[in-house]
Structure 1
Amino acid sequence: MMIKTVSQYLGFILGIIYGLVFRLISDVEYLDGYYNVYSITFIWIIPTLIGLFPIMFSSSKLYLSPLKLVLYPIITICLFLITTLVTGLEDFFCLLIIGIPFFIAAGVVGILLGAYMKDKINNKRIYSIFLLPLILNPAENLIPNKSEEFKVEHSIIINKNRADIFPNLLEVQTINEKQYGNGFFQIIGIPQPINSKMYNDGENSYRIGYFTDNFKLYESIDQSIENEFVSFQIHLDKSHLRNQPTDIHLVKSDYFKFGKISYKLIEVDTNKTKVILSCDYLLNSKMNFYANFWAEKIISDFEKRLLKSIKINIES
């Protein structure tokens, strides 16, 4: 009875193990650049193959139903993602990024490949398909990434003059949770700003932006025109990042690079100023269109909430 039960769910187990092996390989330091989490192979090919396991390795009755041909690959992907979360290999934000293409790939497997693959199970050569990532990922790295610059910009009207506002952009007053709000990205673990302070080391002035989870950004002033404009350059090598998958695989990676964060002040009236906050960043990958979808959403959410909080603090 136990053997029969194991046989029935063997595909799920093998699929999870298969995915974990390649996920762990991506963390091997000397393989960095050959096998990585945010490659086309890992994002699309690995979930496709994970989804094949319950079709090819479980009992034949498991995939007699067309519904199961779609459902079981998706269940296997879901179990794999939960396992990476529980083991600390991924956090909620990483799961959000890879989860969407993973589930799409799994669904496609069931709809398009399920019926075809089950008829090929007796052909032992078909199992060599699970070695594809060992070939495709190194081959993928022969194709150079595409580097693109992006900008996200938002503005707000603050009922104060520029002279009153400008110092509060250099040193942002403490922002409480009620001011900033608790949205979707905050729920899944994106740090929210607390305040920022200016310092001087005797030679240069710099700013540290303090965030929740002990996340700190070191910023140097790139350009400043009093009461009109100021821009900051972020230095990740001097910043204090979290030891979490999001920071390790994204913030510290070569795929995403912060450019400048700048504020521009435009006088609307004597005691009314338009404050424009913009963030420049660089994406360097083979999937910039997908990466920018998330980068734009997160930075846009951050800018809107930060500007609203600054307005509340300055006007109150």
Structure 2
Amino acid sequence: MKSNTQYLGFILGIIYGLVFRLISDVEYLDGFYNVYSITFIWVIPALIGLFPIMFSSSKIYLSPLKLFLYPVLTIFLFLIITLVTGLEDVFCLFIIGIPFFIAAGVIGILLGTYMKDKMINKKIYSIFLLPLILNPIENIIPNKSEEFKVEHSIIINKNKSEIFPNLLEVQTINEKQYGNGFFQIVGIPKPLNSKMYSDGENRYRIGYFTDDFELYESVDTLKENEFVSFQIHLDKSQLRNQPTDIHLVQSDYFKFGKISYSLIEIDTNKAKVILSCDYRLNSKMNLYANFWAEKIISDFEKRLLKSIKINIET
């Protein structure tokens, strides 16, 4: 019987997490309950992890290892189910997975040890209503808006006049040139090429990526053979119907600014190409959000510059 109630704790914990995850997708609750909030990222995983402890035999309190592993296992099963059902994709799991595991494991040990002496009573179950109280309070507090820039450079052994057209229109990039790293494995689209267009009044560029992902970029500033900047317009871009694009790229938490290329001549047949990307984060967890944003954009810039260099020099 004890074994059955122990398994029941895992099941209830998973259901509890799924309920709040599904609530976050209900449009008319937007502003009341949001995914990628402090409540969802830190409080809910801690509560999910308490279920297997509260429904376990008292012997679990004698093992700090179990107090850590039982909540972590519940979180792992919850994340797998969100992946299988399409609620999250692989990259989203990495974003929420790290704090989820930390919160569940640490709180499991702390509260599990506390509950050892207090014993479980009906009043303690009210703790599971905390997200309904904390998240609306959290939404009252304004987000912090911050601007960031990621910049990388590379030396290309060609003159500026040969390099510059390849910055406006990036030649086709094959898989071998771009490479396949961590972010590509977890589903971040890879660039294929980009083409310049004109609607009669304005020039714009479309960047083509894998997974039918397309970025619409209007020309903001252009100085022949020296500098060009593009303004990204997500409303005119073709995004994917995936959790990463829906909850992050199209959200107010992250906004692309400008992408720009600068050319600095070193000598007649050598120039330095500087690629920079400006973006804005608007959340209560900018430090953590920028950890991922900086890593992804930095990886993209390094791989793109390397690919451009290979295409131009060969």
Candidates 218, 233, 236, aligned match of 2:234: 236
TM-score between both structures, scaled by the size of structure 2:
0.98
Cα deviation for residue 179 of structure 1 reads 0.1
Secondary structure, counterpart of 2:45 in structure 1: helix
What amino acid does structure 1 have at the position aligned with 2:253? Y
SS of residue matched to 1:141: helix
User: 2:102 matched to which residue of 1?
Assistant: 104
Instruction: State yes or no: 1:45 paired with 2:13.
Output: no
Residue 142, structure 1, aligned to residue 169, structure 2: no
Instruction: Determine the C-alpha separation between the residues in 2 that align with 1:287 and 1:235.
Output: 24
Match of 1:90 among 88, 91, 104: 88
Could you tell me which amino acid in structure 2 is paired with residue 52 of structure 1? Answer: L
* 1:262-277 correspondence runs (5 A): 262-277=260-275
SS of residue in 1 equivalent to 2:120: coil
Instruction: State the partner residue of 1:8.
Output: 6
Match of 2:285 among 287, 299, 303: 287
> For the residues of structure 1 that align with 2:306 and 2:260, how far apart are their CA atoms?
16
Hey, what does 1:18 align to over in structure 2? 16
Q: Which residue of 1 aligns with 2:131?
A: 133
SS of the residue aligned with 2:225?
coil
Distance 1:39 1:257 in 2: 17
CA contact (8 A) 1:120 1:126 kept: no
Contact 1:56 1:118 in 2 (8 A): no
Consecutive unaligned residues of structure 2, counting only runs of 5 or more, are none
Q: Cα offset for 1:35?
A: 1.2
Residues 46 and 108 in structure 2, CA contact (< 8 A), matched pair in contact too: no
* Aligned: 1:158 with 2:149: no
The code of the aligned residue for 1:21 comes to: V
How far apart, CA to CA, are the structure 2 residues paired with 1:282 and 1:63?
45
Q: Partners in 2 of 1:96 and 1:166 — Cα distance?
A: 37
Amino acid at match of 1:98: I
Give the structure 1 partner of residue 252 of structure 2. 254
Correspondence for 2:173: 175
User: Across the two proteins, how many residue pairs are aligned to each other?
Assistant: 314
- Deviation of the 1:121 alpha carbon: 4.2
Give distance in 2, aligned partners of 1:118 and 1:41.
26
Residue aligned with 1:182, SS: coil
Amino acid at match of 2:4: V
Report the Cα distance in structure 2 between the residues aligned to 1:120 and 1:25, rounded to whole angstroms. 32
SS at match of 1:9: helix
Secondary structure of 1:243 counterpart: coil
CA contact (8 A) 2:253 2:283 kept: yes
**3-state secondary structure, aligned to 1:203:** coil
- The 2-side partners of 1:309 and 1:100 are apart by 32
Q: Which residue of 1 aligns with 2:214?
A: 216
CA contact (8 A) 1:55 1:118 kept: no
Choose 4-13 or 139-148, whichever is displaced more: 4-13
Q: Residue 214 of structure 2 contacts residue 237 of structure 2 at CA under 8 Å; is this kept in 1?
A: yes
Q: CA deviation at 1:62?
A: 4.3
Is this contact kept in 2: 1:56–1:121, CA < 8 A? no
Q: Secondary structure at the match of 2:88?
A: coil
Q: 1:69 aligns with which of 58, 67, 70?
A: 67
- Measure how far apart 1:70 and its partner are: 1.1
* Correspondence for 1:193 among 191, 194, 219: 191
